[in-house]
Amino acid sequence: MEDTLKILVVDDDEVDRMAVRCALTKAGIQMELSEVADGNDAFSILNTTVYDCVFLGYRLLDRDGLTLIEQLRCSEIKVPLVVLTGQEDEQTAIQLLKAGATDYLSKSRISPENLAQVLRSAIRVYGAEIQVALAKDQLRESHEQLIRKNQELERQQQQLQIQNFKLSETSVLKSHFLATISHELRTPMNAIIGFSQILLRPKFGQLTHQQADMVERILNNGKHLLMLLNEVLDFSNLEAGRLDLKAERFDVSKVINLAVSEMRSLADAKNLSLLVQTDLQNTLVYNDPVRVKQILINLLSNAIKFTESGEVWVEVKELPANRVAIIVRDTGIGIASRD
């Protein structure tokens, strides 16, 4: 061993201490050797000084080696301990190792070779034990960190559940509010539309061209506003899971032409061509005509809104498996492929 080792010999027999000292010297151990004769002195010096190894006599004047080992370990004094016993006693050796001794050696077997071998083995075993203890501490710390993280995740999950519950309540209240407002607003809006239609009938009086134009604007804007209110109501019903389709057999061409005629004034205002291309042998379909018209009006409205020049057209064609495709095209700004 190249490094100088600090070694402590604890034994009440001076001859035994000398035997250990001579054997270590003959073995060529580079050392700084200290000697004490009883357990109290050993305990005091080990409390203040770090040693690479301790050779401990089993029988001391004030106590036995087993008691001293237990006292050292209870005080968390960590050092390699080699117990020197006076006889070959396997049961005693097992007790010593369980108490915390690193190794043991019978005094009758003390020799330079044996003592050097036991010294090296004790230091190596002690180093391995320290590494194992450090690994256990790291594992324990990691386990404690995992427990804390799990607790934090559980707390966050509880908070998310509370937030989700609050959001759900808010969504229900919002849907109820939208449904109520939409319903309440539709009543006066239907009255406005109804009276506008009455004013346009000739039997209720002839309007001037300017008056008729104003009433038609009131009627068209009223219908548009009613459509927006219906969409708000539909949206709230969708969120609440209460929107049902009312499927029936109808002529899809008539529904398309009706939607196009309602949107034509918006297209004319922007000088856009609004065309319909139909390629159907059978125009009867089974679906919800109100929703089909609503979807088509929304698509046409967007197409007209984002098209500054050119045309908007509706293409209707048959697909396999008794399906029909309704396509709205325009010459507007389009949608980027990434979107």
Decide: 183 and 230 in contact? Cβ < 8 Å.
Answer: no
Q: Are 279 and 235 within one domain? A: no
Question: If pLDDT is split at 50, 70 and 90, which confidence band does 238 have?
Answer: confident
Q: Are 99 and 63 within one domain? A: yes
Which residue, 217, 243, 269, sits at the end of a domain? 243
Which residue, 224, 243, 262, sits at the end of a domain? 243
| All residues at 6 or more sequence positions from 35 whose CB lies less than 8 Å from its CB, including other chains | 8, 9, 10, 11, 17, 21
**Arithmetic mean of pLDDT, 74-81:** 87
121 within domain boundaries: no
138 within domain boundaries: no
Q: Are 174 and 95 within one domain? A: no
Alpha-carbon distances, residue 39 vs 7, 68, 102, 105 (angstroms): 16, 6, 18, 19
Tokens of 246: 């009312």
Domain count, the chain: 3
101 within domain boundaries: yes
Question: If pLDDT is split at 50, 70 and 90, which confidence band does 89 have?
Answer: low
176 within domain boundaries: yes
Q: Which domain holds residue 258?
A: 245-339
**Arithmetic mean of pLDDT, 33-38:** 90
Q: Are 63 and 100 within one domain? A: yes
- pLDDT single digits (tens) 136-173: 889 999 999 999 999 999 999 999 999 998 888 887 78
256 within domain boundaries: yes
Q: What is the mean pLDDT of the chain?
A: 87
Q: What is the CATH number of the domain that holds 288?
A: 3.30.565.10
129 within domain boundaries: no
Q: Are 10 and 78 within one domain? A: yes
CA 274/CA 187 separation, integer angstroms: 32
Q: Which pLDDT belongs to residue 1?
A: 44
Q: Are 162 and 232 within one domain? A: yes
